[in-house]
Structure 1
Amino acid sequence: MWRRFLGAAAVVLLLGTAFMALPAQAQNGVPWTGQYYNNPTLSDPVALHRTDNTIAFNWGLGSPDAGVNADFFSVRWAQDVQLQAGTYRFFALADDNIRVTFNFHQTLIDTFATGQVGQLMTADVNVPASGSYHIQVDYREETGEAYAFVSYANAATNPQPNFNPPLPNPQLTNPWTVQYFSNTTMTGDPTAILSVSTPNHNWGTGQPVGSVPADNWSARFTSVQNLAAGTYTASLRMDDGARLFVNGQLLINQFGPATGQTYSATFTLPAGANTFQIDFVEFGGDAYLEFTLTQSGQIVPTPVPTLSGINVFSTATVTAYRLNIRSAPDPQAQIITRVNRNETYPVTGRSADGRWFQLLVNNQLGWGSGAFLFVPNEALVPVVDAPAPNPQPTTPPSTSFIVTASPFTVNIRSGPGTEYNRIGQIPAGRTAAVVGRNSNATWWNINYNGIVGWVVAEYAAIQAGANINAIPITG
């Protein structure tokens, strides 16, 4: 009987082998709403709607649920979460593809088009003010292995992923011996003994072999597999019941009527030969057995490129309504961005006179006046060399045209493309002077309160009647 529920069995510590229950803690205490589709395009109808505490799934070669395909499926998770102002770091790892969107329109991570399968991706986002924010994660599985992991935290805490990504699934190359019994208790002599390549079968409503009835039968699968030492997770999904022994230890015991759940156990194995035994029982109706084994391991996350070799010594909270972040500890140095009251950023150093602090803002190092920053334990922050103040660059001449951020706040970037660093924002409804454009007018080169950069035309509407050809191509 195909059912649409997932579960995890609690596993106890047994002799000689360590076991742990699978984690089930919601990110920031807020669960994710998940919509699962039996296609890779997130197209209706929804095959499964459920609440997931975390996005930390390793389905291996299986599927998320009995009602969802093992291949060519997709998932959309969403949550609305309360965040304090500051910079947040996101981590994502998936096979095949994953996309993380912040507050409906800001794409932080997207491997749908790049094909970066199995790579740990990171991205930072600035939260301008404390409040409620919407986070959406889209996932796509085509064929083969399937897993999805996402976590995030305030960058001031120097976060790491809160998941253990999977190592390549162990190869169970040795054959299995299966003994079929014409009863549900595996008593007496087996009516058939066969060698099979895997214990995974979907018998439907028919007989497993000719000498065994279609209902009220049982089977025992055994195999010895040569594996590397490490931590493994085994899962069973079945109709009706099954139990799993590893090296003689009973790990999963659901030898009864079907519950529609997937049962998992996490344990450690020594290197070399390890014995697996799966007992299966069928009472009536559909009959299937799915067994997966995955190995977990720690990996070192790929750092955000601009953070290489940078140490964080404290945090700084902005006390001014709005504070300029400059290229050097000098009030005449170039403004590279602006930050807002109550936002918190990592501190990487201070000036020799102690009047300026070097901050990490949106993956850029810049200097903020200590008069408008609260920095705990500032005496522990080391003095760092500062570049000589650069002369203020000449501001490009503005045209007579303006653009308006609509309908959302729009990011200002250092170049005409989302791959360029964000250097500021234009709040929704505010205007900026146009100084240029790219060749196809999909990006505007603008000057907003002294910040010269680029905004995407889709969210920065130019005034009605503007002669695009009169705007010089500047990038």
Structure 2
Amino acid sequence: MKTQRFRIIIPIFVIGLLGVMLVLGMIALMMRGIPDGWLSFLQRSQDTSPQPVSTPTVAPGSIVGYIWHDLCASWSEGESPLAEAAEGCVPANASTGYLANGVLEAGEPGISGITVNLGIGACPSVDLTSAISNMDGAYLFPNLEPGTYCVSIDPTASQNSILQPGSWTYPVPMGGLSAVTVTIGEGEIRRDINFGWDFLYLPILPTPEPSPTPVPTPIPTGISCLNRATFVQDVTIPDNTNIQPGKAFEKVWRLRNNGTCTWTTAYNLVFHSGHSMGALASVPMPSEVAPGKTVDLKVNMVAPMTNGTYRSNWMLANPTGALFGIGENGDKFFWVQIVVGPQGAGGPLSWRGEYFDNRSLTGTPDLVRYDALIDFDWKSNSPASVLSADNFSIRWTTKAEFEAATYRFRVLMDDGARLYVDDKLVLDSWKDGAVREVAVEVAIAKGTHSLRLEYYEHTNDARIRLTWEKVSSPSFPEWTGAYWNNLSLSGNPVLVRNDEVIDFNWRNDSPAIGIPVDNFSIRWTRTVRFDAGIYHFRVRMDDGARLWIDDKLVVDEWKDGTNRVAELDLWMSEGKHDLRLEYYEHSGEARVSLRWTKLETATYSAWKGEYWFTPGLDSRWALVRDDQVINFNWGNKSPAVGIPSDGFSARWSRSVAFEPGTYRFFARADDGIRVYLDGNLLINEWHLSGGAEVYTTDVTLTGSHQLKVEYYEHTGRALVEFGWERIAATPTPTSTPTSTTTATSTPTPTQVATSTPTPTPTSTPGAVVVYSFIDHICDADWEDNTGDLPCPSMGDDLRGTIYILENPVLENGTRPNESVLAMRPEMVQPGWIKGFFPIFHVQEGDRFRATIGCLDEQSACDVDFDLNIRVDSGPVQSLGAWKESYDGKISEINIDLTPLAGKSVAFIFELHGEIASFQNLAFWLRPSIWR
């Protein structure tokens, strides 16, 4: 097939490497290997009539990286070394003092104008192409076929002289060449191949001239001779030879020099990838091999000790280290593959293979046979005489024993394949394509599981292989998740695995292979270190869940129910605490999550109530809640989940504005109570009591004062009441509270006065923000059409977008000089994104205020804003809806929340777009609750 090169300008939407900015623009791509048919199609681009276009069979991948100046506050030449490491530095030695720490940190600049080399195969290799870093230090290698590549930078090269003097700090602290071997799959984008450089002296760099977007350098064509090889035969150890564990063997390949260069003894046979099986990394060419001649290449190896299928991939290297191999372009490796033990992947198996002389697995199989393992390279031949060389399909089935673990399944295929475990589709690449490997990780419960691999061959070469292995040895750095096949967590778990976070929305699916979709249960445990403070815990569940902290039950929703949230605030002492979440799914959809957030500022509409599970106000954590009044008669029951019915204590605190006058404070308790006014002990009855007595004292007050009530319960019933009443006006109130009577005990009246609500202050202060939604963006649960979203979400894969945008320009041209909440619906039609914020306790006079609109330069922006609420876990209600388009106008929202006073309200932010567009990028400016 004849190919041509051409240049095409493609408009794209780019997300900055550091996830900080969004840029709309054009990128110029140099593309090679484009068939004439595609080129002629592009030349006909002015013709708007439909044209048939072939779809590429393999999605290209990309490598994106960043070259940054790894800052370290060092010293200039001639100065004395610093006494201790400055920020960003780590000790080196007496001569160099300190080096940069090898960590890409905020504020560290990119280095532009650096030439980055790309080679085929494992490092060292530089023969494919190159790119130049742009003004931000970014480089790009697009349109790469799946495979292994070497990314490298040579600081001694003349084009990179700006780097001298200095040394690399990342990925490996060293001087000289820095190289990284990178493997990419079909359509994969690797964004993490970064290089950190520490300059020896400061100042470091002049301000660089802006450089264009990196464009790969075309592969050189003017070379004196060509290196190519052709595989002739396996002289020893053909594929899938069975070798006993630990046995040494010699592998011999016969290759033909199919190029124009003579292979001298300076050429080498080099290990490329896979399992080296103890072989040397490089073996010299045994003799000179002229073009057209063959050579036998030998390497000594040792079979691994563990049963399984092992493959070792090899290539050749010329005297400069450039890799080449077999295949039309000389970029394919040759290999040796052995089977250690009785069978291959996973142990002794027998696969039932059903072979069909069609691509659709339909009808009666034309051949049924049993295959020891699935690893076939038929090339352009037929698998059997009854089948054609093209247009056939195969279904393999077996059963295998698995330990409880996560397994990585790998399928190498040409053309399409799909893998099922227990009839669940776990890998799907059912499409035409050149040889490629697709991998998937699957958590599997202990026991026997059925496996099914389906494969089809369309045209040209045919290749299929299946292997699997445990991902790693069992370790549980985050949550230890134990999974049961029953509702009651009874018996031994069928699967134990590490779960990074507890945030699952399985809907009608199973949480793991071997776990049913209904009637299962899970227990997660971990130890977490907390700083001292108040934390807001949220448990979302469908069906039941319960949460323990330090073996104390704090959330108990062990019952069937649809998707709902249980929330509570806890004061946590500094140090480590044991957390345990238990969950069960009965029927229908399955969902569970656990989150907590430290509350830097907490507001309470009335009393801040703190409850300890010990009588001394001193347990390792305390329940914190908003109590409207102190008037509780718990009897023999507990005041809250996690607090015992006996042997607990509580503290209530608040600020109250009093009109001038004399006030009578009263209290009674079973058992002890004490009351403080502005830190002064007012009532002190800290003893056992049956709650039959009322303690009173009169005080003359005016203005705002701090009240604190402490209580403990010993045994028996629990009761506590506290309140006050104004018994006389005082024309000239004193500034200092003065006790007018001594606390006395009187018989319990039939009815005692209840606490009055907080009086309105005599003067109304200016409104202040009591809750900023921007400050709590990631306390919300975000979702779009597809499902749950992380926070922040940059919409890399067309999903919904939610993030904080610093110092933006709005559609009316103004710059508010503060952050906004930027949102974009998912790229579907219609698309939406929603955020469910934690519960807020509304007070009388509270108002919701915000400014909304589209961001600058989003000319196609056309969205609908919805502000909804859920009151006391009830149905969703609307507070308002607004339509916004790019018309140069923004809208102000100001809603009186007084009708919701005293309610627990969850606010829901929504953004909808009827038309899928990257420009549906809208904002919430200062979304807040004012008081």
User: Would you call these one fold, judging by a TM-score over 0.5?
Assistant: no
Give the TM-score range, shorter chain.
0.3 to 0.5
Normalising by structure 1, what TM-score? Answer: 0.36
Q: Which has the larger radius of gyration?
A: 2
Higher relative contact order (CA 8 A, sep 6+): 1
